[in-house]
A and B are shown apart, each in its own frame.
Chain A
C-alpha cells in the first residue's frame, strides 16, 4: 500500500493536535462556564449578578477575606525571610545538602494538611508553646502552618532564581569589595531574586486565600476558606459566584507573575542588541 504524502500526514497531525487542544479546553472551561452561568440565575428566568452583589455586600466576606489576606501577607514575609537565606546558604556552602532540602520542601505535598493541623494543635496546645489558647497565638500558628504549606512553592521559586545567578561569584565579588553578609543579602541577593520571590509570594497568596483545612481547625470561620465552605452549604447561587470570584483572584495572581516575568525577559532582550 502506498504511504500518504508528507503534506497529508502533516495535515492529519495538525487535526489531531487541534482535537486534543479542544478536548483539553472543554475539560477545563465547561465546568467554569456552567458554574458562571449558574451563578447568574439567582432570579428565575433572568441572568443577573445578584449573587455577586450579595457576596460583595456581605460583611463576613470582607472580614474573612481581609483576615486571610493578612495571614497570607505574614506567611509570605516569614517564608521569604526563612527560605531565601536558607536556599542561598545551601547553594553557597552546603550544595551536597540540596537534594535533602528539596525533599523536605516537598513534604507538604505528601503529608495531608489534616495531619499537619492535628500535629500543630497537639504540639502547641500545651507547654512550652501554648498557642491555641489566644487569638494572637492561633494566628501565629496559622501563619506558621501556611509557611509550611507554601514551602514547596517558595523554595522551588527561590532555588530556581538562585540557579539563574552565579551566587558564589557574586558573593565573592561583594566580599572582595568589603561587603558583609547583611549587605550581600539585602543589596545583592534579594534584589536579584525579585522575580523569583514575587513568583513564590503570589503562589503562596493563591494557596493561602482559599485554604480550608488549617484555617477551620486553627481559627474557625475567621478565614476566607471556611467562609466559602459555609456559603456553599447554605446559599446555592452565592457559592457559585464565590467559586468564580476565587478563580478570578487566582488567575489575577498568576497573571501578575507572568507580567513580572515578562518585564524582566524583555529588559534582557533589549540589552542584547
Chain B
C-alpha cells in the first residue's frame, strides 16, 4: 500500500464543489506537486491532508493509518505556508524549536536539532534574530526548517515561493529539492507555477475546477498532455483550427495548407478537433519533417533566451514559433514571407 493515499476525496463548501472524486497514491520519499490555476482545489486538497479541512467524502490514509478526521496537531505533518507564518514573538531558534518544545523534548536535544536545521538551511548565524529582521527568502527557509525539525511524516508546502521575487524563488526552489532529497521526505507541493512544478517534482497532478486532469512525471505532463486543459496550462501551445480531416491518412488542412500528423488513435478527440503544436517544435525554413507552412511574419517578441515569432499563415490563423536566440540565428523581419516547418510527430489533435 502507498505511503499517503487519498481515496475518493471530495470537498464541498455549501453548493460549491471545491474538490471532486480525487484519488491519489503517493509513495514514501516521493515529491508530488499539485499544479493548477487559482480555485482549482489544490490548496483545499493540501489542507485536507494537513487536517485543516475535513473531506466531505473519502478517506485519507498515511502510513496505513486512517487520518481523515484526525486533528491537525496529532498528524505529525509539517507545513510551510505562503505567508511564512513564523511566530513574530520568537527568535529563529525558538521558532525552529517550537514543535519540539510542544512535544516536551529535552532542551539539550532541542538545541542540537535546531543547530542541525540551521546548518541544513545555511542560516547558522541567524539563530537569535527575530523574523522581522530577516528577508522573505530567509524567513521561508526558517519556516521550512521549523516544519522539518519535528521530523514529520509528510512535508506539505502551500505555494511557499509565491511571495518571493524571481531570483530568490529559483534559488529556494533548488534548495527545497536538495533538502527533500537529502532527507528523503515525502513531500506534497502546491503551486500555480508550472516551471516550479516541472522542475521540482517526481510527479505532477494537474488540477482544474476541483478535478484531477492528469497525473504523471513532468516529462509525461509536458510532452503527452491528455486533455486540452493540461496541454494549454502547462507550457505554451498553438491550438489551430483545421479542416478536411482524414483520420485514415492522418492528414488535414491548416489555413488551406496540408498538414500530416502522427496522432495516437487511443487519445480522445473533441467534436471540433484542433491541431496542437508546441511553439518550440517550429523551425523557420524547410528542413524539419513533412509539414511545411507558408506565412508572413506579423510580430517578433524578444524573451531573452527565446525569440517568439508570430506568423500569419492565412485565413487569420496565427502561429507562435519559439526560436533560440543564438548569435547564428538569421532572424526574419516583420512582414517577411517565411516558410515554417515542423515534424509530423510534433503535432497532435485535441
Contact = CB atoms under 8 A, between A and B. Distances in A.
Contacts of A272: 132
A55 to B, nearest CB: 42
A93 to B, nearest CB: 12
Given A172-B81, A192-B88, A177 B130 contact: no
Contacts of A170: 85, 87
B73 A271 contact: no
B85 A173 contact: yes
Interface string A160-181: 0000011001101111111110
A95 B70 CA distance: 24
Interface string A247-273: 000000000000000000001101111
Nearest to A178: B102
Contacts of A166: 83, 85
A27 B79 CA distance: 57
B102 A183 contact: yes
A176 B99 CA distance: 8
A266 B75 CA distance: 39
B103 to A, nearest CB: 6
B50 interface: yes
B88 A177 contact: no
A267 B129 CA distance: 12
A272 B79 CA distance: 26
Contacts of A268: 132
B22 interface: no
A188 interface: yes
Interface in B124-142: 130, 132-134
A191 interface: yes
Contact of A179 (B78, B83, B102): B102
A173 B102 CA distance: 13
Nearest to B86: A173
Contacts of A188: 87, 89
Contacts of A172: 50, 52, 72, 79, 81, 85
Interface in B156-173: 156
B79 A271 contact: no
Contacts of A191: 89
A180 B89 contact: no
B76 to A, nearest CB: 7
Which of the four size classes fits the interface of chain A? Answer: 20 to 34
B150 interface: yes
Contacts of A176: 50, 72-73, 75, 77-79, 147, 156
B72 A192 contact: no
B31 interface: no
A192 B71 CA distance: 24
A192 B81 contact: no
B146 to A, nearest CB: 7
Interface in A93-121: none
B222 interface: no
Interface string B89-115: 100000000110011000000000000
A179 B74 CA distance: 9
Contacts of B88: 165, 192
Interface in B35-90: 50-52, 71-79, 81, 83, 85-89
A178 B81 contact: no
Contacts of A194: 89
- Tell me which of B71, B83, B88, B143 has the highest count of chain A C-beta atoms within 10 A of its own C-beta: B88
A96 to B, nearest CB: 13
Contacts of A173: 79, 81, 85-87, 143, 146
Nearest to A165: B88
Given A188-B87, A192-B88, A268-B132, A177 B98 contact: yes
B190 to A, nearest CB: 14
B102 A177 contact: yes
- Tell me which of A169, A180, A267, A268 has the highest count of chain B C-beta atoms within 10 A of its own C-beta: A169
Contact of B85 (A169, A178, A187, A273): A169
Nearest to B98: A177
B83 A178 contact: no
Interface in A194-208: 194
A259 B21 CA distance: 56
Contact of A169 (B83, B89, B130, B133): B83
Nearest to A273: B133
A177 B156 CA distance: 12
B72 A175 contact: yes
- Tell me which of A173, A267, A268 has the highest count of chain B C-beta atoms within 10 A of its own C-beta: A173
A173 to B, nearest CB: 4
A169 B76 contact: no
Contacts of A179: 73, 98-99, 102
Given A176-B78, A180-B73, A192 B147 contact: no
Contact of A192 (B73, B74, B89, B102): B89
- Tell me which of A174, A194, A270 has the highest count of chain B C-beta atoms within 10 A of its own C-beta: A174
Closest 8 CB pairs of A and B: A177-B99, A271-B133, A173-B85, A176-B79, A271-B132, A191-B89, A175-B72, A169-B85
20 contacts: A166-B83, A169-B85, A170-B85, A170-B87, A173-B143, A174-B87, A175-B71, A176-B73, A176-B77, A176-B78, A176-B147, A178-B76, A179-B99, A187-B98, A188-B87, A191-B89, A192-B87, A194-B89, A271-B130, A271-B132
Interface of A: 165-166, 169-170, 172-180, 183, 187-188, 191-192, 194, 267-268, 270-273
Given A172-B72, A177-B78, A273-B133, 7 more contacts: A169-B83, A172-B81, A172-B85, A178-B73, A178-B99, A192-B88, A271-B134
